[in-house]
Structure 1
């Protein structure tokens, strides 16, 4: 077990009784949870590291199986060891759980926190209100539905590369003739197992702004778009908080099909648009979590200013 966890275990979870064999024993888990959630969590991580067993009674608070619970504790154990410094307060422990298990369903995270008597810190509670509009805003030129986003396609906190299938009616009528030609020749090369020729033709397709993607064992010819999120500005990679902003956007869009409301093309050839993911307005998330600034010079929407103001008031992120 890592020194940080061992030290904190010894600091928070000092045994209080001794059995007949001279070995110290810990009080029942419920006693710890009622008095100190941090001690209880540290105790359970200590024992999971030794026995690979999740604490008894947790299943009464969460819906997932014990196999899933074991995965949570394995991830929490790794996160605890890697934390510098490790959590020393109940709030820090709650934040570690929320951050580490961010892909676990919300009800299970809430149940896990309640199991340890931990509460969700106020500054992590973010409500998202904007949904995909039923009628398009006046300045929107068109909408697009993307294929699943590759996490490597996120450049920073306000830019992402997406692909749209050429089977989309809008795309199908605008495919350059040479792209269709290259795609047809490539297919024949693959049938003939001429991998070298197929790669050469695919490179020509890529250079034309398209790509053949394999999704669910099906090859799809798709058009590439570089998207600039309208109305926000995030720090670049080498700037303070640049990595965190990029990670947040990646977490939001990776593996997802996006709905994009397209407004215009900027001076760099990027498509400027509003991105919606599973009904959530991505720019709202980025602003409310303090991962971007409102780009007021190019977008005067009052709700963007309000969301940034809320993040500033909570001292979240940037």
Structure 2
């Protein structure tokens, strides 16, 4: 009896870790939000919001933001893809590496095309850093810009401006 309780306790502790382990899901892309986010429809008609793992594409209002979104759409919109899921982000989006029907890594392709940064602080795959370095060297995509601003820095600066604007409006009232 004690062994069964111990086994059940261990099973319940390990179950969430096992469930979050990398798995694959096939789905059809129904929306491309930006250069690193999409929504797809799984075979059970469940929508999955996806954040492409290991990359960070320009925000829509940044230079190359629309180009990145358009390129991602051209590569996968209304197509069957395979998600290699590795977890979830703080917004409860599925973090995944996306593969097309030819088994090409779309996340990596976005970096190779110069339309996304390698998310080096989170990525464990050195291929992304190599692809970014090569795109920079060849001045492909956003690397044509003199001083492209990383999306994470852009978001921080935008957040600071919004806080300052709110503070100024509050002071006027």
> Which TM-score band applies after superposition, normalised by the shorter structure?
0.5 to 0.7
Structure 2 unaligned segments of length 5 or more: list them: 1-19, 143-173
SS in 1 for 2:78: coil
Aligned residue among 131, 141, 162 for 2:22: 141
SS in 2 for 1:311: helix
**Change over 3 Å in CA distance of 1:292–1:256 after alignment to 2:** same
Can you list the C-alpha shifts for 1:94-132, whole angstroms capped at 9, x where unaligned?
xxxxxxxxxxxxxxxxxxxxxxxxxxxxxxxxxxxxxxx
Corresponding position: 1:250 with 2:73: yes
Q: Verify the 8 A CA contact 1:144 1:262 in the aligned structure 2.
A: yes
- Counterparts of 2:124 and 2:107, CA distance in 1: 14
SS in 1 for 2:63: coil
Q: Verify the 8 A CA contact 1:231 1:304 in the aligned structure 2.
A: yes
- Counterparts of 1:143 and 1:163, CA distance in 2: 14
Q: Which has the higher strand share?
A: 2
Counterparts of 1:232-247 in structure 2 under 5 Å? 232-247=55-70
> What is the number of residues matched between the two proteins?
122
**Runs of 4+, deviation exceeding 6 Å:** none
**Change over 3 Å in CA distance of 1:140–1:289 after alignment to 2:** farther
SS in 2 for 1:280: coil
What displacement does 1:300 show? 2.8
Aligned to 2:36: 158
Aligned to 2:113: 289
TM-score between both structures, scaled by the size of structure 1: 0.37
TM-score between both structures, scaled by the size of structure 2: 0.68
Aligned to 2:130: 306
Q: Verify the 8 A CA contact 1:235 1:242 in the aligned structure 2.
A: yes
SS in 1 for 2:141: coil
What displacement does 1:140 show? 4.7
SS in 2 for 1:297: coil
SS in 1 for 2:129: helix
What displacement does 1:283 show? 1.1
**Change over 3 Å in CA distance of 1:282–1:140 after alignment to 2:** farther
Structure 1 unaligned segments of length 5 or more: list them: 1-138, 167-221
- Counterparts of 2:113 and 2:46, CA distance in 1: 31
- Counterparts of 1:255 and 1:244, CA distance in 2: 18
- Counterparts of 2:76 and 2:122, CA distance in 1: 24
Can you list the C-alpha shifts for 1:137-157, whole angstroms capped at 9, x where unaligned?
xx852110003x23xx10000
What displacement does 1:244 show? 0.5
Question: Which structure has the bigger radius of gyration?
Answer: 1
